[in-house]
Amino acid sequence: MKVIILAGGKGTRIAEESQHKPKPMIMIGNKPIIWHIMKIYAKYNFKEFVITLGYKGQAIKDYFINYQYINSDLKINLHNKEIEILNDIGEDWIVNLIETGEEVMTGGRIKKAFEFVNRETIMATYGDGLADININKLIEFHKSHGKLATITVVRPTSRFGEVLFNEGSKVTSFLEKPLKGKQGWIGGGFYVLEPQVADFIESMNTPFESSPLEKLCEAGELMAYQHDGYWHPVDVIRDKILLQSLWDQNKAFWKIW
């Protein structure tokens, strides 16, 4: 089963980074977010990816074209211009990079991805969300219900701490750190989609999160896989700083490999 990664959006809410690169290329540690996402899937032996490009897609192409050079030690002969890779640490992945257009919406990108894989069952996710999700359990759940689409739902971490107090206004608990599970369930990506889902996408200008999912819901063909673990998107610069801090402290919840 191939993994579709939606990587064509403009990421306007994190313009500090996205004005120079596509959001999936924002660095956490010394690797872009998209690499971290791919490592999650590869942990479960899903190693063929279809990356749908749009805004500044050339940056993603350049990264994977030069992946071995970027991530390995090199011996460079400046005289004859020969380059020798000293410690090849390349991944055993197949990476398909397809241009889907800068203005195309997520539904259009998924529709084009279905065409690329000849309408096979796919997994799909966004290029900016990290989780400690068990992909095998996700697929097992999808196969168990026999419907066309599975969306992973998550309880996001609160961006704020929490102050608890009693009826007399005496503070009983003050929690500065962000809390998990204080909000309702929301869509977190990590889809499993049957090929018939493409028929629910009206055009390349259709956001997948609107009418396609609504129609699948109305048809009784959309199921929710409840992920009770951690999940976090990179929407604003604060998210990037938080995830970088977790990585630096060796507390990266998504590092399951």
* The token pair that represents 250 in the structure block: 């060796």
pLDDT at 256: 96
Q: What is the mean pLDDT of residues 24-36?
A: 97
* pLDDT grade for 96, boundaries at 50, 70 and 90: very high
* pLDDT grade for 43, boundaries at 50, 70 and 90: very high
| Domain 2-248 in CATH 3.90.550.10 | yes
pLDDT at 73: 93
- How many CB atoms are located within 10 Å of the residue 31 CB? 16
- Lowest mean per-residue pLDDT among 116-125, 168-177, 231-240: 168-177
Closest CA to 124 of 4, 245, 24: 4
**Distances from the Cα of 89 to the Cα of 85, 134, 154, 188, angstroms:** 9, 25, 33, 31
Model confidence at 240: pLDDT above 60 = yes
Q: What is the mean pLDDT of residues 179-186?
A: 66
Q: How many residues does the chain have?
A: 257
pLDDT digits (tens, 9 = 90+) for 194-210: 999 999 999 999 999 99
Instruction: Please give the helix or strand (H or E) that residue 94 lies within, else none.
Output: strand 94-99
What gap in Å lies between CA 216 and CA 161, rounded to an integer? 36
pLDDT digits (tens, 9 = 90+) for 134-144: 999 999 999 99
**167 CA to centre of own chain:** 43
This prediction's pTM: 0.90
Average pLDDT of the chain is: 91
Q: What is the 3-state secondary structure (H, E, C) of 179-247?
A: CECCCCCEECCCEEECHHHHHHCCCCCCCCCCHHHHHHHHCCCEEEEEECCCEEECCCHHHHHHHHHHH
What gap in Å lies between CA 220 and CA 223, rounded to an integer? 8
Contact 100, 54 (CB under 8 A): yes
What gap in Å lies between CA 151 and CA 63, rounded to an integer? 29
- Lowest mean per-residue pLDDT among 24-33, 84-93, 218-227: 84-93
